[in-house]
Structure 1
Amino acid sequence: MTTERNNKGGRPKLADYQKRTKMVRVMFCENDFIYLQSKAAKAGLSVGEYCHQAAMDNTVREMVSPELAKGIRDLSGIANNVNQMAHQMHVIGLDAVKEECIGIIAAISEIINRIKPLHHDR
């Protein structure tokens, strides 16, 4: 007894209007191609997909670097501390948490100064 499977698995087929059926050949010199590869790698795309997005006038952005992602996580962690201090200020007053506030401001400044050079060209 043979049963036919309707669902063969895999990605669903694209509609006709979504299929990329036309190809454009572009030539690069060695230096330009290396530059293009590095830009595509920074964006987390293949060279072909990078060129496609650039040609379609989309904004091609770099992926967030691990250093920048760590800085963002650090700032998020400090935000929790700031909320706790705000609560303490309402309960026991500003003078009691003044030193903690100064420490957190210094930590935020240090993180921003560490992130700034990583993200300066945008």
Structure 2
Amino acid sequence: MKEKKLGGRPKLANYQKRTKCFRVMFTENDYIYIQSKAEQAGLSVNEFCHQAAMDCQLCQRISPEMASAIRDLSGIANNVNQIAHQMHTYGLEAVKQQCFSIISEVSRIITQVKNNSHDSED
């Protein structure tokens, strides 16, 4: 006997089946924009959103410690500008100690940032 071919697409393996769903709300303008982007890509809106979510690259948010270190560095940058102005006015020898103090503070902050980034990778 001859086997009859079944119509339709072959069944997916269990690991290929999409069984979970997220509900996402968009404004009317956002939805129209996404529809047009999906159309340009030749995909359905669902497939476009799926690919966009799977392919996106995210950055970790800045931790409070990192934000504090950035503020400290910003303050130090201001101090460096003031020291540069003093050096032009009074000469290098007059502000030498301030320079060493800023260098040690920058080194401390860099060490703190390195330690925090290593802790967050674990």
TM-score band, normalised by shorter chain = 0.5 to 0.7
Aligned partner of 1:91 among 68, 84, 89: 89
Question: What is the 5 A alignment of 1:3-18?
Answer: 12-14=27-29, 15-18=31-34
Give the equivalent residue in structure 2 for 1:64: 62
2:102 aligned with 1:115, yes or no? no
Distance change (3 Å), C-alpha of 1:118 and 1:52: farther
- The two structures have a TM-score, normalised by structure 1, of 0.58
Paired with 1:94 and 1:53, the residues of 2 have a C-alpha distance of: 55
Structure 1 residues 15-57: Cα deviation after superposition (integer angstroms, max 9, x where no partner)? 435159528xxxxxxxxxxxxxxxxxxxxxxxxx9x87550x2
Paired with 1:114 and 1:87, the residues of 2 have a C-alpha distance of: 29
Paired with 1:54 and 1:21, the residues of 2 have a C-alpha distance of: 12
Number of matched residues?
A: 84
Please identify which structure carries the higher helix content: 2
* Unaligned ranges ≥5, structure 1: 1-10, 24-48
Amino acid at match of 1:13: E
Structure 1 residues 55-106: Cα deviation after superposition (integer angstroms, max 9, x where no partner)? 0x22111101000010011000000000000000011100000000000100
Report runs of 4+ in structure 1 exceeding 6 Å deviation.
Answer: none
Distance change (3 Å), C-alpha of 1:59 and 1:86: same
What do you get for the CA RMSD once the two structures are aligned?
Answer: 2.7
SS of the residue corresponding to residue 80 of structure 2 reads helix
* Unaligned ranges ≥5, structure 2: 1-25, 36-43
Paired with 1:108 and 1:117, the residues of 2 have a C-alpha distance of: 14
Paired with 1:90 and 1:73, the residues of 2 have a C-alpha distance of: 26
Percent identity reads: 45
